[in-house]
């Protein structure tokens, strides 16, 4: 069994913002699996599906980004899932718009959602899919940037990247993370 977590913030005011790309990828994955992510538990919304014969739990924490670890820990404890069977999908300002980067482990890199998950799990050794949202403009506050929306052209790139990230998650489970890294890292839609 795998836990697939998409990071974001709850509420209409955060929909389609850079910080909510994890939620968007979970929605695309749910569509691909004909699953719904509308059950409430673990301080989040979740649903169930199957990828390559493996049961998967799709989770969107509703704790707000900075407390994502609370939701993740609750789901992992309930389903007895080890960190190497959890995949976290989130935004990355150090990658170009629509670029993907899969990692097997790593630091939070300044991302508060990942920082909180690491704090709750006591490890940074869990697979993740970073989805590039582009570098913030000079003199713009980082929080303002990640809570802003994409331009029309960038939104088109991101829509393609959400589907590509969902495919990357499937590949990580079916083919393995190393295979998926070779296939998807650096790939950019648009």
CA distance 20 to 146: 9
Catalytic residue among 19, 85, 111, 187: 19
**Per-residue confidence band for 110, with pLDDT thresholds at 50, 70 and 90:** confident
pLDDT at 112 over 90: yes
Q: Which residue has the tokens 């300044």?
A: 110
pLDDT of the residue at 54: 97
- Of 173, 171, 58, 174, the residue nearest 184 (C-alpha): 171
CA distance 115 to 128: 13
- 26 in a structural domain: yes
Q: What average pLDDT does range 70-83 have in this prediction?
A: 97
- 189 in a structural domain: no
Find the domain containing 158 and state its range: 2-184
| Strands in the chain per DSSP E | 2-6, 39-41, 44-51, 54-61, 86-92, 100-103, 128-132
Active site (annotated) includes residue 111 = no
* CATH number for 106: 3.40.50.1470
Q: What average pLDDT does range 60-87 have in this prediction?
A: 97
Total domain count, the chain: 1
Q: Which of 167-171, 175-179, 181-185, 186-190 has the lowest mean pLDDT?
A: 186-190
pLDDT at 190 over 80: no
pLDDT at 79 over 50: yes
- 110 in a structural domain: yes
Q: How far apart are the first and last CA of the chain?
A: 33
């Amino acid at each position: 069994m795998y836990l697939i977590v998409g990071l974001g913030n709850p509420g209409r005011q955060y929909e389609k913002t850079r910080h909510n790309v994890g939620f968007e990828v979970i929605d695309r994955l749910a569509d691909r699996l004909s699953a719904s992510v509308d059950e409430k538990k673990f301080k989040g919304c979740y649903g169930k599906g199957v990828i390559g014969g493996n049961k998967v739990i799709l989770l969107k924490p509703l704790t707000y980004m900075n407390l994502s670890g609370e939701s993740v820990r609750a789901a992992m404890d309930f389903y007895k899932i080890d960190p190497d069977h959890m995949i976290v999908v989130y935004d990355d300002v150090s990658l170009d718009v629509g670029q993907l980067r899969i990692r097997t482990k790593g630091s939070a890199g300044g991302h508060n959602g990942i920082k909180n998950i690491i704090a709750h799990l006591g490890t940074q050794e869990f697979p993740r899919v970073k989805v590039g949202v582009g570098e913030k403009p000079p003199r713009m506050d980082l929080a303002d940037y990640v809570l802003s929306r994409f331009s029309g052209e960038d939104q088109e790139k991101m829509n393609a990247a959400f589907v590509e990230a969902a495919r990357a998650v499937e590949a990580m489970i079916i083919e393995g993370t190393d295979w998926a890294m070779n296939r998807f890292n650096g790939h950019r839609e648009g």
